[in-house]
A and B are shown apart, each in its own frame.
Chain A
Amino acid sequence: MTADPRKIGIGVVAGVLAAFAGLLVEMDLTMAVVLALLVFGRIAFADDARVRLAMLAGLLLWVLVLPLFHDPAGGFIDTAVLALAYSVMGLGLNIIVGFAGLLDLGYVAFFALGALAAGWFMSNFFSGTNGGDGLHVLVSGVAAELPGLHFNFLFVVVVAVIVCTIAGMLIGLPTLRLRGDYIAIVTLAFGEIIGRVVINGDDLPFGLPQVTKGRQGITPIDKIDLPLLAPFEALNLRPWFWAALVLLLAVLFVNYRLRDSRLGRAWIALREDEVAASSMGVPVVRTKLLAYGTGAAFGGIAGAFLASLLNTVNADQFQFYFSVFVLSMVILGGLGSIEGVLLGGVVLTYINFRLIPGLSDLPASIGLDFDTTQLNYGIFGFLLVIMMVMRPEGLIPERRRRLELREGIGVGTTAGVGGPGDEKVVEVRG
């Protein structure tokens, strides 16, 4: 087992960085050291397939036992659950932006729809149902006593997937005739429209019935209640963590399988050159719509999970800011790179929910007066600009995407990636 000294060097640096980052967010020391070793092993011996497999298995085991080393109601695990859920969203958006190259700035719409599915079918929102007694399907514990609709979480996930897939395709439809940056604006507009409907859903004009509780929020939402297990509790976050992990692993599996499938190759072909792809027989409409639909479905799953976890469907969650938050994960990690988006999701969630609030004493100590949580916008904006200018392929680049972004391969007439005007003038040499 020989290794390139350069790779060992990078491995040591990355390992130390990973351990340091872990300790910064109050990870258990043992777990941080193990993480450092895993990262080191993965990078230093990247050429050896057996080591790669062993490190992957080690990482999986590490994640599985992670909650056992931390306080079940503490801040670390709280953020860890969020990180997993947001990574699911990041992976969903990665399909639309990273694989298919369609810039979607309204991804928050699917968070909203998934959360609303939970808000309708897992709360007392429809308190008049069944004469005030409520309708209960496969739920136990407190939820089984309350008025309103109370369905099992698995049912809600299916509803969220169906609703979001359809919504994603509907949002995708008008963009089919459009190219490039118009797509970004139309998706943004849809995201804003859905956000508006959620904010004002308690007071719709023209005598329409209530669809949300507006800024007040639909709350409480039932805790996740899986068959054969006791309902989850707010004060023990370990089951939430494992549930989120299962969701993430399922989504990861689908992501990898899709990327290497016929459909995944069609997405990448469309991204690189729409005209060439369609003349090679790639059905443009169906392929694009499937990208929107699949990406949206993941957003819906994460949305339903988050609604149950956060115990509320509150209009203030569904702002444009959130779309950019998820987009930042994809850009930071690397467009189209599954591992990268995972890293981006975890890193950005910790920055957003632990580091920024944790630094609240800093401005006062250097004699300035502002709230660090007010810096969220600037930090994400800065990150987007810096990444795109300095390292557009992201932290863990996908090979093919790096070629496109760095060397301009496929920059030609691609959907969302350029127009004929961008083509370089052909040099003729004698």
Chain B
Amino acid sequence: MEASAAQRNEGGRRREATFDAISKYGLIAALLVLPVAYGITDISQEGSLAPLANNLVDGLSNGAIWALIALGYTLVYGIIELINFAHGEVFMIGSLTAASWFWGVIGLSAATGTVGIVVGLLASLLVCMLISGALNTMIERVAYRPLRNAPKLAPLITAVGFSFILQNVGILWIGGSPESIVDPIRAQRELFAIAGVSFSHGDLLAVGATVPLVLALVAFMTRSRLGKAMRATAQDPEAARLMGINVDTTISLTFMIGGLLAGAAGLIYALYQTNISFFQGFTAGLIAFTAAVMGGIGNLKGAVLGGLIIGIIQQISDNRIGGEWTPAVVFAYLVLIMIFRPQGLLGEETREAG
């Protein structure tokens, strides 16, 4: 009797493992469809993989920005299991802060010399990060903390509400249509090219700014006491509280860090795309959320990996299928992941997803 139950259990576990493997490799295969299909087209039509490689380079640069935003989603979700819907708007405010205000204040323009640009951009980075970080912390304080013990529907709705309020701030700030901004780093200019694959100033900036930020975050999470407190709270808020960790402060800190990264992403995005709009946060937020889910929500490595993958998919779709379809393509992937592998590529099975 007991033996047969054990056998059944083992069979069930084996079946589960099979399904797990199928869904994981199926997802990877689905992600490879676009690059492989267009790679084959390139070889048959152009005789080289250069167009695809160019897509990959641009995609990775975009993906670096999405990764920074996705980290914010993942950190917050990891700690209070809430989709911070307003996170995309925090990123948007970061872009607006730099392009519509701070660069005007410090007089940064396309004519500024190299040293001036470097100093100016470092100052902008600091300002954008601080403003977005403070904003995100404020949102948590006003819209989420009072609802900590309410049904989960409630904070999600205030999150949507806050996202709308911030979009309105964006509209009042720069108007309802996208705005072209100064291009101090000449983002599109080619830096160097290898075998027909061109690397622009923008690509260098996106990767060069993202890598140190991500490394700093990882160091903070693994080395510092506060990072340890964050991980402990994410694992079990109740136990963390009993161990003397101030859970409220830790949650505030998490929002602050998410906001800092979003602010940095906002600045990089403004420099890379050279235009801004009040709506950019909504699209970017959904793309980055897809990235976070793809990597496995709550998982930092996953968020970065997901961001890079989704950046490539987005770039290929922009370039080959047409930019107007990109949101639909990205969301189609989101739905596929949600159906077949809600825990993502690297994530563990979570309570939510299970």
Q: Which residues of A contact B (CB under 8 A)?
A: 97, 101, 103, 105, 173-175, 177-182, 184-186, 188-190, 192-193, 196-197, 199-200, 205, 320, 324, 327, 331, 335, 370, 374-385, 388-389, 392, 404-405, 408, 410-411, 414, 416-422, 424-425
Contact = CB atoms under 8 A, between A and B. Distances in A.
B159 to A, nearest CB: 9
A319 B284 CA distance: 16
Interface string B133-152: 00000000011001101111
Interface stretch (B193-201, B303-311, B331-339): B331-339
A332 to B, nearest CB: 11
A377 B286 contact: no
Interface string B118-158: 00000000000000000000000011001101111111111
Nearest to A416: B153
B168 to A, nearest CB: 3
B169 A388 contact: no
B81 A384 contact: no
B151 A192 contact: no
Contact of B153 (A103, A374, A375): A103
B240 interface: no
Contacts of B165: 377-378, 381-382, 385
Nearest to A106: B331
Given A184-B156, A205-B322, A405-B154, A419 B167 contact: no
Contacts of A186: 334-335, 338
B156 A320 contact: no
A374 B172 contact: yes
B272 interface: no
B237 interface: yes
Interface residues of B, number: 53
A384 B157 contact: yes
Nearest to B82: A181
Interface string B330-354: 0110110011001000000001111
A103 B157 CA distance: 9
Nearest to A214: B324
Nearest to A188: B286
A197 B82 contact: no
Contacts of B81: 180-181, 419, 421
Contact of B158 (A184, A376, A389): A389
Contacts of B169: 378
Interface string B277-312: 000001000100100010000000000000000000
Nearest to A410: B151
B342 A384 contact: no
By secondary structure, the B interface counts as helix
Nearest to B339: A174
Given A199-B324, A381-B165, A411 B342 contact: no
A408 B172 CA distance: 38
A181 B335 CA distance: 14
A324 B167 CA distance: 13
Contact of B151 (A182, A383, A389, A404): A404
A384 B168 contact: no
Given A181-B152, A416-B152, A331 B168 contact: no
A192 B283 CA distance: 10
Most-contacted residue by chain A among B154, B164, B167, B237 (CB, 10 A): B164
B166 to A, nearest CB: 8
B161 interface: yes
B162 interface: yes
B171 interface: yes
A196 B161 contact: no
Contacts of A184: 83, 156
A360 to B, nearest CB: 15
The 6 closest A-B pairs by CB, nearest first: A381-B164, A384-B161, A378-B168, A381-B165, A189-B331, A417-B151
A177 B340 CA distance: 9
Interface of B: 81-83, 142-143, 146-147, 149-158, 160-169, 171-172, 176, 237-238, 282, 286, 289, 293, 321-322, 324-325, 327-328, 331-332, 334-335, 338-339, 342, 351-354
Contacts of A381: 160-168
Nearest to B237: A421
Interface-central residue, B82, B152, B171, B324, by most chain A CB under 10 Å = B152
Nearest to B328: A196
Contacts of A422: 149, 152
A189 B331 CA distance: 5
B161 A377 contact: no
A180 B352 contact: yes
Nearest to A424: B149
A327 B157 contact: yes
B160 A421 contact: no
8 contacts: A174-B338, A178-B338, A178-B353, A181-B83, A327-B157, A384-B160, A410-B151, A424-B149
A192 B318 CA distance: 17
Given A174-B339, A411-B149, A196 B157 contact: no
Contact of A385 (B143, B153, B325, B339): B143
B327 A380 contact: no
A388 B158 contact: yes
Contacts of A416: 152-153
Given A374-B171, A408-B149, A388 B338 contact: no
Nearest to A417: B151
Contact of B162 (A188, A320, A385, A404): A385
Contacts of B143: 385, 388-389
A417 B149 CA distance: 11
B146 A189 contact: no
B261 to A, nearest CB: 20
A205 B321 CA distance: 7
A97 B334 CA distance: 22
Contacts of A420: 351
Given A200-B324, A419-B352, A378 B147 contact: no
Contacts of A185: 83, 289, 293, 334, 338
B244 to A, nearest CB: 17
Contacts of B331: 189-190, 192-193
Contact of B157 (A197, A375, A388): A388
Given A177-B339, A193-B328, A417 B172 contact: no
Nearest to B86: A381
A374 B176 contact: yes
Contacts of A175: 338
Contact of A182 (B157, B166, B167, B342): B342
A188 B83 CA distance: 13
Nearest to A190: B335
B334 A385 contact: no
Contacts of A200: 322, 324-325
A95 to B, nearest CB: 15
